[in-house]
A and B are shown apart, each in its own frame.
Chain A
Amino acid sequence: MKLVALFKDSILQTLDCKSLYVSVALGALFVLVCASISYSPMDEREAIQGMVEQFDRVMIVRTRPPGGRTFEGVTWTVSDVRKGSGDFEGGYEFKLAVSNLREFHDLVRFWRGVEQGKITGSDDPVPEGEVDEAGEIKFLRGKFRERVIMKTRIERGEASEDKRVFDVAIRAASPERLEGMYQAHFFFGAFSWPLGVADQKLSVAQFMLVMQLVLSQYVAGMVGILFGVIFTASFIPTMLQKGCIDVLLARPISRTTLLLSKYAGGLIYGAISGGVLVGGSWLVLSLRSGVWNWGYLASLGTLILFFAVLYSIGALTAVMTRSTIASMIVPVGAWGLGFGVTWVKQTGTQPLSPFQLPSSISTALEALSWFLPRASDINVMNQWFMICGSMGPGVEEITSEMGLPEVAWIRILLSSGALIVATLGLASFVFSRRDY
């Protein structure tokens, strides 16, 4: 009951300050903008044509930096596009004609070499070997799989000296996962954009992934958290004001409880407003696109964790200074400093960067970063969630190719938790010993 009362007090405080309405309005506006995005199918033949035309490029992802090679001489022609039926309900059936056989077979051999790990650079020679019907079909199947189209039926029809014609049936996990199949309309149709950049077509699912990465990293992860820190900064200093704190301390409640519940109040406030922002935009984006990426929703958890770190620094500042302004500036400063330290350390230890750090300094920076909020950890976790969440059923086998970021879960969770516990512990130690 006491905790509810303390939380209610924080809510009253935020309702009282007009800026909350501004932030709620901004959040609602943002969700509305998300809701204004709609999709409509493109011409099916053109879309499939656009997709297969990209089959001439072989990516070599195992090299650093990743490279690739394009076999431009091959021509691809899609015709007779029909809606799929039976097993391919929701997909498409069509004829695919491939001409310039010599180069097509070079492409297949090169692709096979990469798959088998024999080719490690884009300048490697095309390996020798026969390409039979099975080899051609395997190549096409692989190319569709690269585009997350797991269900295919490919049969070779007419075959001449310089041309192959295949009967193809494909079905993606959902139509939204077919590249180039949709165009997006923004602001309730005010302008339209066939999904893709240059000749790289995007599926709705890919577009959503990119967009949600940006939303979680910049909109919610930076603007949202910044607002959260600003709006909650006054909670503890107001409680500590001269004259106010006396009335509270005379109540039968321990100072640690008082501080921690105010802290929790700030967290719940952050979680609710973050939940509205992320949850709201997730819902409308998913409803509109048909792509339900739980990873975006899960990123709310990492954002709250990061906010909890920042807010614990704010709470300590508030106890030390009783100043709202300081409680805004110090956590944001620590955030910036953490970002800077990580950036300098990473840049200074990469082989081709403009400056190089001696190992003693980079070790010192690494050590320092443990005492600061680590935004980079949060971004990595969000990316992991969102890439995982964007994969449809049956796609696990190709996760390695999609390049899931490596996440040191235990280390991140433990270090964030330790930072929060240490900061709050110090804050409540100081608070408990102060004379007011």
Chain B
Amino acid sequence: MPVIELRSLVKHYRNVHALQGVSITVEKGEIYSLLGKNGAGKTTIVKILLSIVRATSGEAILLGRPAGHVESRRKVGYLPEDHRFPDYHTGWSALDYYAALSGVSGAERRSRIPEMLRLVGIEESGRRKIRTYSKGMKQRLGLAQAMIHEPDVLFLDEPTDGVDPVGRKQIRDVLVHLKSQGKTIFLNSHLLSEVELISDRVGILELGKLRREGTVAEMTVEKDIYELRLEGAFDALMPEIARRVRGVRRIAGGVEVDVENAEKLNALVDYLRANRVALVGMTRKRQSLEDVFIQEVGVAGQGA
């Protein structure tokens, strides 16, 4: 039974068509990442699953129950983007509050809270008021509140936002650790490089539509990209090069080409040689997820 199931999800906010029929299935134990520019609809998907907003049409099922059912949220943790905690709380009392709301008993809370604070690396600040926390500390506290009740599913919306590089690495480690415990993780991000390292599957969302979906491997091996370092007047040959390959891009000191197979690549090299353009170097480039993302969405995601 899938942990998360979206079927033709549609959401209209007054006149904004935020989601236009999105279907996604996430199995237990997977890390699924949703990539997309700001405004693509990532947050809306998560909010519908948690019944923070209501879908216009379509179905959203979480842990076997329709989203919106109180019980469907019992084993779910959520780190919202731009979250805030009431600043009269200390880190400790906030975790105590949220854990109690998720039904964690008092005794368990007392043992889990220090554990959590340590895990996210803010144990020394646990007794301080949240209003004295830096953005990074608040983000870590946010992660802690999402995990305090040992949920089976975690929704993390831009979890590394505002966190320094060391912190990002720590968060990534936490996620890998959670995955090893069999938790399902649903990640929203525009930080492609981060997602690429830990995701099992990735969906690319644009303007409320799922443009592509697959494992990182599937998405990145599909195309062979070669970087050719050339010497000679190859600019004049660009139209002919473009005709012979699937894709070409002028780079400093050469071209980047996307060819179907080695045979075509050899033919291209022969053609260049015949036109007195010398090949002085060649690298095979595995396409990064970012390349796929840029290709799909057209422009690099902001802040990436």
- Could you list which residues of chain A lie within 8 angstroms of chain B, going by C-beta atoms? 1-2, 4-6, 8-9, 12-13, 15-17, 238-239, 241-254, 433, 435-436
Contacts and interface: CB of A to CB of B under 8 A. Distances in A.
Given A12-B88, A16-B88, A241-B84, A246 B52 contact: yes
A2 B103 contact: yes
A1 B52 contact: no
A242 B50 contact: no
Contact of A252 (B80, B93, B103, B142): B103
Contacts of B97: 5, 8-9
Interface in B1-60: 13, 47, 50-54
B102 interface: yes
Contacts of A248: 101
Interface of B: 13, 47, 50-54, 70-71, 73-74, 76-78, 80, 82-86, 88-89, 93, 96-98, 100-103, 105-106, 129, 142, 145, 155
B73 A250 contact: yes
Contacts of A13: 86, 88
Contacts of A241: 84, 86
Of B82, B96, B102, B105, most buried by chain A (CB within 10 Å of CB) is B102
A253 B68 CA distance: 10
A250 to B, nearest CB: 4
A91 to B, nearest CB: 59
A1 B100 CA distance: 7
A250 B74 contact: no
B52 A238 contact: no
Given A9-B97, A248-B101, A250-B76, A435 B53 contact: yes
Given A248-B101, A252-B74, 15 more contacts: A1-B100, A2-B101, A4-B100, A5-B97, A5-B101, A9-B86, A12-B86, A13-B86, A16-B129, A17-B88, A246-B78, A250-B50, A251-B73, A252-B70, A435-B53
Given A5-B97, A252-B73, A243 B78 contact: no
B80 A247 contact: yes
A306 B164 CA distance: 52
Contacts, number: 90
B250 to A, nearest CB: 45
Contacts of B76: 250
A433 B51 CA distance: 10
10 closest pairs, A vs B, by CB?
A16-B88, A243-B84, A5-B100, A250-B78, A435-B53, A246-B80, A251-B101, A252-B74, A252-B73, A250-B50
A433 B53 CA distance: 8
A6 B84 contact: no
A32 B66 CA distance: 58
Contacts of B85: 244, 247
B100 A2 contact: yes
Contacts of A433: 54
Contacts of B50: 246, 249-250
A436 B84 contact: no
Contacts of A9: 86, 89, 97
A245 B77 CA distance: 14
Of A8, A9, A238, A245, most buried by chain B (CB within 10 Å of CB) is A9
A250 B75 CA distance: 10
Given A433-B54, A435-B54, A6 B101 contact: yes
Contacts of A245: 52
Contacts of B89: 9, 12
Contacts of A253: 70, 101
